[in-house]
């Protein structure tokens, strides 16, 4: 399959076209927060490359969350627009699974086959979005918002090594001190790691996309208004 992959769940913004899971072109900014202006430019760049090489898209894959509310909204709107315009399906991909795939791609030889991976996304204060995956990126625990304390992963750590990665891992280093806790730095979700996951994902037909929403996990709560007449009741 020829898939356009979109990842905007954190302050990193990236797109990639993959063919049968292999990256053929990509564009990214891994340290920015201007997704609304950057994403259309990156998509235009990779779509130009697709036209030059006669790569016809079969689907659009979206890193669906959890993550930044604004980032997910921007990515979702762009992905749905492309699907409608090109009449192709959408493939939602678990953002935490993308982080696990990135860790394996960058540090795979250092991670034992029997070890478990625990991607972490910062959810503010001492809370993270997290789940647990096998070496094959198969999820074995539901995605959840978890308060970080010394006993947060005690059951899993008692069974063996647990590898932590993602932008929520830093806040765990001084709290999760088990000898079985291994931290991998510098891992972020990127579109280039989505292709193989999207290949085995569920295709959502264009007819059903009107009702599709990203996986926010927690509802967005707007700050109280301080404008006279619009104060929260």
Burial of 233 (0-12, 13-18, 19+ CB in 10 A): exposed
Q: What are the distances in angstroms from CA 133 to CA 118, 119, 138, 139?
A: 6, 8, 5, 4
89 found inside a domain: yes
Prediction pTM value: 0.91
Residues 8 and 74 in one domain: yes
With a cut of 50, say whether residue 227 has pLDDT above it: no
Residues 101 and 134 in one domain: yes
Q: What are the distances in angstroms from CA 193 to CA 130, 198, 223?
A: 18, 9, 34
**Total structural domains in the chain?**
2
Dump pLDDT digits (tens) for 21-61: 999 999 999 887 789 999 999 999 999 999 999 999 999 99
User: Residue 110 contacts by C-beta under 8 Å, 6 or more apart in sequence?
Assistant: none
Lowest mean pLDDT across 82-91, 125-134, 198-207, 209-218? 209-218
Bridge partners (DSSP) listed for residue 24 = none
pLDDT band at 220 (very low <50, low <70, confident <90, very high): very low
With a cut of 50, say whether residue 226 has pLDDT above it: no
User: Rg for the chain (alpha carbons), in Å?
Assistant: 18
d(C-alpha 177, C-alpha 138), whole Å:
26
β-pairing verdict for 2-7 and 127-133: unpaired
221 found inside a domain: no
- Is the distance from CB of 50 to CB of 25 less than 8 angstroms? yes
Look at phi and psi of residue 160 and say left if phi exceeds 0, alpha if psi is from -120 to 50, else beta: left
Residue 172 confidence (pLDDT): 95
d(C-alpha 105, C-alpha 107), whole Å:
6
Bridge partners (DSSP) listed for residue 93 = 63
Q: Count other C-beta atoms under 10 Å from residue 80's C-beta.
A: 18
Residue 108 confidence (pLDDT): 67
- At 3, phi and psi to the nearest 5? -125, 135
Dump pLDDT digits (tens) for 80-139: 999 999 999 999 999 999 999 999 999 867 899 999 999 999 998 899 999 999 999 999
Residues 26 and 63 in one domain: yes
Residues 60 and 127 in one domain: no
Containing domain of residue 202, as a range? 2-94+189-211
| Cis upstream peptide for 66 (omega within 30°) | yes
Residues 6 and 33 in one domain: yes
Residues 118 and 131 in one domain: yes
d(C-alpha 195, C-alpha 75), whole Å:
16
Residues 6 and 78 in one domain: yes
Bridge partners (DSSP) listed for residue 25 = 17
Which CATH number does the domain housing residue 40 bear? 3.30.420.40
Percent with pLDDT over 90 in the chain? 86
């Amino acid at each position: 399959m020829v898939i356009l992959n979109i990842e905007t769940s954190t302050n990193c913004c990236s797109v990639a076209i993959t063919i049968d899971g292999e990256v053929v072109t990509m564009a990214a900014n891994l340290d920015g927060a201007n997704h609304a202006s950057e994403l259309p430019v990156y998509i235009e760049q990779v779509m130009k490359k697709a036209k030059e090489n006669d790569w016809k898209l079969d689907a659009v894959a979206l890193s669906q969350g959890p993550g930044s509310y604004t980032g997910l909204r921007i990515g979702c709107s762009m992905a749905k627009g492309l699907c409608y315009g090109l009449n192709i399906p959408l493939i939602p991909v678990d953002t935490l699974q993308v982080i696990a795939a990135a860790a394996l791609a960058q540090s795979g030889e250092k991670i034992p086959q029997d070890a478990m991976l625990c991607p972490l996304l910062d959810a503010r204060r001492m809370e993270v979005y997290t789940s647990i995956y096998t070496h094959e990126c198969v999820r074995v625990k539901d995605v959840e918002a978890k308060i970080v304390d010394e006993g947060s992963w005690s059951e899993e750590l008692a069974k063996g090594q647990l590898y932590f990665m993602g932008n929520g891992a830093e806040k765990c280093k001084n709290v999760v001190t088990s000898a079985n806790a291994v931290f991998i730095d510098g891992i972020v979700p990127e579109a280039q790691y989505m292709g193989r996951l999207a290949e085995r994902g569920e295709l959502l037909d264009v007819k059903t996309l009107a009702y599709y929403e990203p996986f926010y996990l927690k509802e967005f709560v707007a700050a109280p208004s301080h404008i006279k007449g619009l104060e929260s009741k």
